[in-house]
Amino acid sequence: MPDTRVDLLGIELSNPVIPASGTFGYGREFAELYDLDILGSFSFKGTTLQPRLGNPLPRIAEAPSGMLNAVGLQNPGVDRVISEELPELAKIFHKPVMANVSGFSIGEYAETCARLDACAQVGWLEVNISCPNVHNGGMSFGTDPAQAAAVTRAVKSVTTKPVIMKLSPNVTDIAAIARACADAGADGLSLINTLMGMRIDPRRRAPIIANTTGGLSGPAIFPVALRMVWQVYEAVDIPIIGMGGVQCAEDVIEMMLAGATAVQVGAANLVNPLACPQIIAALPGVMEQYGIDNLKDITGGAHHG
């Protein structure tokens, strides 16, 4: 039987499949459909220091081979996540969970991460640096190597658990951002977040999404995500979680061959809530098809011929 186990920064996962933040909430809705413990882990809803109502409606638009979203990080705030969501999560998921953190200043990132670092259920901190820096003209932290490094250092200074920096693809050179985070002490990287896009309603002659633009996800972005994982693997020596348009077990294999240690599944969960268990079930057969005995052995395999 092929071995689907992988090691992510010192924590063994039964398989590399991790539902992505923003597509899985805190797990409760999916727990009604299947046993969440079959997952490698999952990244819970992006959490900020203070509660957020998110962007005005409409927030979602369909796109060819994908979707656009501008939800705006709607969440109850870190204190309620710790006091209410995590105790409920403990009843339905019995493995370490990935805490996804967003912020609008370096201080917010550090404070939110410090509070979640103290939670026993949290195995890793996934720090989303696609947020606008309110103290720097609104430019995303993840588009500037110096700012990305500053967030990384601030979070690492107040935490003990592995810190995984989640990178934006909306940059000229993602390898430069990756190196800046790695040099600042990041333990791992996850990529890619959504690509910026928009749709226009011809009848109204106006953008469909109230926020005008949104993040494009789904199978349309898989080749871009794969290319960026490849580039980052060449640039740094820390583990990578690959994501962006992953739909099936074959996509997981491709992501790992490009350099990923584990793989997140995002928009597929919104189209098919059973996407992750179906991918996990298919993995051993796909491994046998390609002569793979142990998934740990294939990370970065396409770089070596």
Amino acid at site 118:
A
- C-alpha pair distances (Å), 14 with each of 96, 155, 196, 212, 238: 12, 28, 33, 41, 20
Q: Return d(Cα 210, Cα 214) in angstroms, integer.
A: 9
Handedness of CA 284, 239, 176, 151 (dihedral sign): positive
Q: Which one of the listed residues 113, 119, 131, 276 is annotated catalytic?
A: 131
Length of the chain equals: 305
Instruction: From 195, 194, 192, 198, select the one nearest 211 (Cα to Cα).
Output: 198
Can you list the alpha helix ranges (DSSP code H) found in 19-129? Answer: 28-31, 78-80, 86-92, 106-117
Q: CB-hemisphere CA count at 13 Å for 42?
A: 30
Q: Return d(Cα 178, Cα 269) in angstroms, integer.
A: 27
DSSP sequence for 256-303: HHHT-SEEEE-THHHH-TTHHHHHHHHHHHHHHHTT-SBGGGTTTGGG
| 131 catalytic residue (yes or no) | yes
List the structure tokens of 230: 């490849």
Which residues are identified as catalytic?
Answer: 131
